[in-house]
Structure formats: structure tokens, C-alpha cells
Amino acid sequence: MQDIMPTWVGATAKQIARGVRRGDVSATQVLADHLDHVAKADVDLAAFRVVRGGGAVTEAEKVDEQEDLANLPLAGVPVAVKENTPVAGVPTWSGSAAVRTAVAEADHEVVRRLRGAGAVILGVTRMPELGLWGVTDDETAVTRNPWDLSRTPGGSSGGAAAAVAAGMVPIAHANDGLGSIRIPAACCGLVGLKPGRGVVPCQLGAEDWFGLAEHGMLSTTVADAAVGFQVLAGRAQSKLVPPQRLRVGVSLRSPVRGVSPDAPNRDAVAAAGRLLAGAGHDTVPADPVYPTSLGLKGIATWLAVAAADVRAAGIDRRTLQRRSRRHVALGEWALRRGYVREADRLAWREQSINFFADHSVDLLLTPALASVPPPAVSWSTRSWQANMLASIRYAPYNAPWNIAGLPALVVPVGRRPDGLPLAVQLVGPPGSELLLLGVAGQFEMASPWPRHAPGYPRVGTESPAIT
């Protein structure tokens, strides 16, 4: 019987960085293991737009040549970057050939910080056109969920989530304008933190999606989520501390009238409540008041961000997918009518911050999704209405916290009856990112989740990082 060589595929980012710093493995070998896995696994998943190959090898060699690796928290860690964020030497696709820009001359600031921490950029991951949808596909490929190839990994950071859930990279960069980190995290059984406003440099699109968009990371463990967040935020690495007794508000109320969580997602919230109680926290019912106007203005903003991005980039609207053309046209109308106003966003932010004081709660617990992820099909050829309804019906819980600019995190909690992962969302006041991660860490300790989808990673044996 032929011997199977051990591989670093499946190791966490922290394990890889520790191994590279100690000299147990080279960054070049770690990258080679992951490139081999990507070549096999991505045939089914279509998570990557571009795999950098030679460029990534050169980067890994530079890491190995550094004399002092002690201060590199991501030393030799293969990382993927979402395709709307400039990576030097690679086109910035933003979800389709119609909006692709030329090869980027310089890294985005968050990419620069990842490289500065020792990460190796393996490639860029797929997203829907302009990042507008909760599903990920275009005319070249349908990105699929490693947990169930017939389902979407979510959007807009769907490629990033599929890559991490399949072990193709231990962590991946993502960004979130209306749920685009948290929705894929929930679909793929990952930890996904959307930082609060102003914590991580954005510089995304025309106006950072009117302040709604944030950069973050997708990971399989809370420890990796914490490392990635602190790198992106430019902070010194500090260990998470289990939080003292908290009072957590619990709400099933949907921000979208007529949409409610299905039984598995209600059960996930109940399970999370038990985990909180087991960790010594108190839970109380506490429903945010979601005004009807919030939903209408939120949709208007969703439309307007597309129009603003297309206008700023000088894109010919006729080259876009049919669903995106309609979205941009309606966005231009919303902007002309004055339906997108900073004053409205600031009012909701103030109301959201006051929610915690008014209810005497430290955090808010909600479902992450309302129903099962939609099928993995060619949504890019379907109507605007079909795409809007699909996104809103399964993922109504995320967008309000972008409008408010508050930190929010998704953490896995169990499985659906069909085997897909379940998750919940935790929302906190400004500055609560590490608190949210600390609570998620308590969930992970009490009820560990599968770090990868069943059957992944498929290369080699158990990672030598575990020993």
C-alpha cells in the first residue's frame, strides 16, 4: 500500500503560523499542500476566480527567507482575498467580466496588512456581480456549498466561505455590506465577524456602500477569527478572555414583515440560549423595533449602492447582467428621489445603540438565517425579482446592523435535519468585537462544531499540526 504523505491542509491558521515560526514546516511547503488541495477540490466548488500559483510561491519563499518570524501572527498562512478587493498583480473582478478592472498596481490596505502579518495570498475568491446578492454565480461558474453541492454557499462572499469550509485555505478575507460575511458563514458552518464602523479601513466601491460595508475574515475557529480581526484592525494580538456574566437579549423577530424563521433556525436560537446559560449568562426576551421605513430605506440603499458604484467606475450599464441592470436603474431612481439619506442611517444607528441601554442588555441574539440556503443554480440569468426575493426570504436578519454600523458575528450552532449547518447571530454595541468573539469562544468550548464540511479536506492524512 502506498504511503500517504502528511499534509498541512486542514490545520488552523494559528497552527500553521506556529509551525512556520518554529521551523517545523516552511511556508513554501504549506502553500504547496494547499495548492494541491485547491486543484482537486475547486473543480466541484468553483470557489476561486484566480489561483495565483507562481506569485504565491514567490511570496511564500520570501516568508521563509525572513530571519525573524516571531512577530508574524499569520506566518506562512495561505489566505484568499475576495475579488472586489485589490491585490497587486491581479485584476479586480467584483463578480463579473463587465465590472473587472485592470491588474491592480497596489494592494488594498487590508491586503497589505495581511501580507505584513506573514500571510501568503493564494488567490482571489468569487462573488456575485457587484456583491449585490446572497448567492454566488456568474456565466462562467456556479459556486457551490461544500456541505451540499446542490446549495449555495451564500453571498456575496460565497467563494470565500466555500474555500474555508472545504479546507482550501484556513481563513479567508471577506467583506459585508448587507450581510455578505455573516450569510456565507451561516450557510457554510463558519465563524464570521462583521466589525463595527470605522474599525477596519474600508475603501470599497464608490462610498464604502454609504458606510455600510466592512472588511472581515471567515474562519473555522474563534481563535483564527480573533487573529484575523486583529490583523485587519491593525491591533496588537491579544488573547480572548471569557466574558463575565452578561445579559443577552433574545429575539426571533424578523426585520422583514412576512418573513419568519423556520423551525431549525428557531431551534438554533434556543440551543444558543442554553449555551449562554451554561456559560453563566442571563437571557431575556428583547425585540428590536424594526420600523417599516427601515426596510424600505434599506432596500433603497441596496439599490443605490449599485448605482453609485457603477457611476463611479464608469461602467456601461448595458454590459451588466439583467438582474444587475434593473438593480442599478432602480438605484438611480432612488437617488434622484432622495430616498437614501445619511440622516436616516444615523437615526437608526442611534436607535440601535440605545436598544442595549433601553433593554439593559449587553448583546442581542437572533437567528442568522430564516431558512435553508437557496439552490446553487444560475441565479445570474434569473430575473431581478427572483434574486431579490430569494435573498430577502432566507437572510433578513443581517442588513439592519450594517445600516447601524454595529459589530455582528455569526457562530455555528448544530445542524439542520438535512445535515446543513445552523448558526446564530450575535450583535453588540460599538467596540464589542472582542466581546462577541469571547462569547463565540464559549460556544465553541461547550459545543464544538465540525471545522470542515463532511469529506473535506480530502488530501493526505491528519494534519501534522495537530500533534
Active site (catalytic) residues = 82, 156, 180
Q: Are 172 and 122 in contact (CB under 8 A)?
A: no
Residue with cell 495565483: 52
DSSP conformational letter for 205: T
Residue with cell 449555495: 152
Q: Are 453 and 420 in contact (CB under 8 A)?
A: no
Going by C-alpha positions, the residue among 38, 195, 18 that lies closest to residue 110 is 195
Q: Which residues pair with 415 in a beta bridge?
A: 421
Angstrom distance (rounded) from CA 134 to CA 304: 17
Q: Are 421 and 186 in contact (CB under 8 A)?
A: yes
- Distances from the Cα of 166 to the Cα of 70, 261, 409, 456, angstroms: 29, 27, 21, 5
3 state DSSP class of 4: coil
Angstrom distance (rounded) from CA 377 to CA 342: 36
HSE, CB side, 13 Å, CA atoms: give it for residue 3: 3
Going by C-alpha positions, the residue among 18, 391, 226 that lies closest to residue 216 is 226
Q: Which helix (H) or strand (E) holds 191?
A: strand 191-194
Please give the full DSSP string across 380-443, using - where no structure is assigned: GGS-HHHHHHHHHHH--SSHHHHHHT--EEEEEEEE-TTS-EEEEEEE--TT-HHHHHHHHHHH
